[in-house]
Chains A and B, each alone.
Chain A
Amino acid sequence: MSILVNGSSRVVVQGMTGREGSFHTERMLAAGTKVVAGVTPGKGGETVCGLPVFDTVVEAVAATGADVSVIFVPARFAKTAVLQAAEGGVRLAVLITEGIPVRDMSELVSELGLDDGPVSERPFVLVGPNCPGVVTPGECNVGIMAATLFSPGNVGIVSRSGTLTYEIAMGLTRVGLGQSTCVGVGGDPVHGIGFLECLELFEADPMTAAIVLVGEIGGDDEERAAEYAATHLTKPVVAYIAGFTAPPGKRMGHAGAIISGSSGTATAKAAALEAAGIPVARRPDETPRLVAEALAEGGHHGAEIGR
């Protein structure tokens, strides 16, 4: 088991005929992912990487039974591509594209009701944008992550940063701690599922025994995750936060701080996580040791793992 994707996921690539799309399709195939089709409006009937290309997701799903879409289209077409994916009936879309206007994302959340109800009951789930994708090592790699850095195991990773996901997954792999699923939720202010949904999914996943949360400055997702973990999780969580020395660069005026009720600093996030009993690594390379300790101790509430 795993979350979001596994060995039986059938993947359609929106934007497969583009440079990025075809490059990463090859890589996903090489990692063993069941990529079954591509979609590019106006290019239906072509073949890329030996796979059929369709004009719409609806057609691709009807012909191939795809249930996951990964999206590589340029930013200005991204909103339409996500609407197409939802209409096409896939249960998960992973939006890799960066540089999408915030307004487009807000409109998507509102038009598709993306945040309505518990994640396990939603008919359509979006990961991203501006994210590296989702990997269930040895089974399915959806996105742009390098499959060779990961190994199968029981540590779930949810991260706002792509390269830090690599760094931490590789660190875990090197000490023999494999991963159940690694989710890069993306760094944009408005995105699909986040820490809370992934924590909920990992908690319910029998294969996952411990969770690594990789956060960074800005917003209050980490503070909310800390509160959620303290009240809803039995499995141990370990965190790493980047940005302790980041200058208060682009401030969103004063209004931003009033909205979130948090300063958004790394220090505030680490304090909230530690107050919830979640150890916070000070360097990425401290994470594997903290995970090993957490696994040895069991849940931070002393509950049984993998019940």
Chain B
Amino acid sequence: MVIDTQGQRTEHAQNAIMEFLLINHPLDCPICDEAGECKLQEYAFLHSKGQSRFNEKKNHKDKRVELGPNVMFDGERCISCSRCIRFADEVAKQPVLTFVQRGDHVTIETFPGTTFDSPYSMNVNDICPVGALTSMDFRFASRVWEMSFTDSICPGCSRGCNIKVGVRNNEILRLEPRTNMHVNEYWMCDDARLTQYKFVNENRVSSPMIRKGNTLVSASWQDATAQAAELLKKFKPSEIMVVGSARATNEDNYLLAKFAHNTLKTNNIDFLRHVDNAFGDNFLRTNDRTPNAHGAAEVGVKHETSGVSMDHLAEKIKQRSIKALYVMDGDIAANSTLTAALSDLDCLIVHASNHNSTTERAHVVLASTTYAELEGTFTNMNKRVQYVQPAVATQDHERIEGMQMSRWDKFGASNDRWARGERRNCHQNWEIVQDIANAFGAGWHYSDSGSVFKDIANHVSAFSGMSYDLLQEYQGLTLGKAGSPEPKGVVYQSNYMKPN
């Protein structure tokens, strides 16, 4: 059999198909959120003459139907491909969507008395080839081409779904899944889409702070790290407890462990687990709400038999055998057993990205980056090490290699209102730890995350053979198996008009 994919007859047929598809499709691309990443727009652009011979009236259908709490349906734009129906049946396992009516009146509805509220419902917005299904959270927030999309990893749970972070004017506007057949396939959960960007944009600790009397005042990095070192020097090593973080990267935890063991010479080191037994399910979501619990333990932040563990920390603080706490996990006071105990400390030094109940009690607050501003690696529940890169600029770095930039990011100047998004004065956790360790005379000089990771790869056997280049190439490597990576998946980029 011979199939012609080019030539006059083929083009004629393609044009005819496009004409049919566009007969009842409204011409509201200027309003539609999908414009710029729309398959129909793409095909019309490539295979259509741009003229319609249809003189009759177009069909009118409902334009604003809420299929569920997060999904809005526009009947006119729908081309009846049934992808959303299949997704609800086969992936979300909530078969509530169906076609109703016939012919050109066909439309999509939920069965009476049901609503499409699956925890994965918003994936239909991505797979919808047109703008018929849109996200109620994002609706009209920005055009696609105005955002930059940087590859990242979702920090919402220990699955470590591969995501893309959509940024405009240094603010995250949306998250979308990135294909990785070994982790999340093509999907991510609604909870992450709705929550994992807000804390990057809002309520941030925008510079280091020192407690003066009852209030925290902004300070320079030199003053803050000097103050932290000075406070720590007042205590015996056994009186200091160092708390790592399962929300921080492998690099951060590795240097923190090195700081605790070699510089402070304390055995009191552990990290707090954030487990929510109601969150996990049998698809992507897991009960462990942190992205790097496995990695933190692997690089050295774990309870030692001679030291104090998280379980006994409250008790030890009460007994006054722990007097100073150095915490990398900004959310420690939210833990009910520790809330009261923290007030009994003589010294609380905390790395925090957001204001919370821990920063209220802290003596020194060191402004740290969120996952969207750092370069590093997370190790997920299946021991897969995955690479994270900055999507949002800080005062430290305006541009970093690998960070995607839209036209507006590239050419904005200080007198453009659309380029004045806040640059926060925050540092990566490992940089802060290095500064404090150097105040103790450790003499470390890691220049970037890559040099810390190189050190990890050389000293922690499970990481040997890994490098940022390899992690990016294979979209993550499994601990201890850097030499035999899983096969690279073919990532089908369906939106060639979408920027980066």
A binds B: no
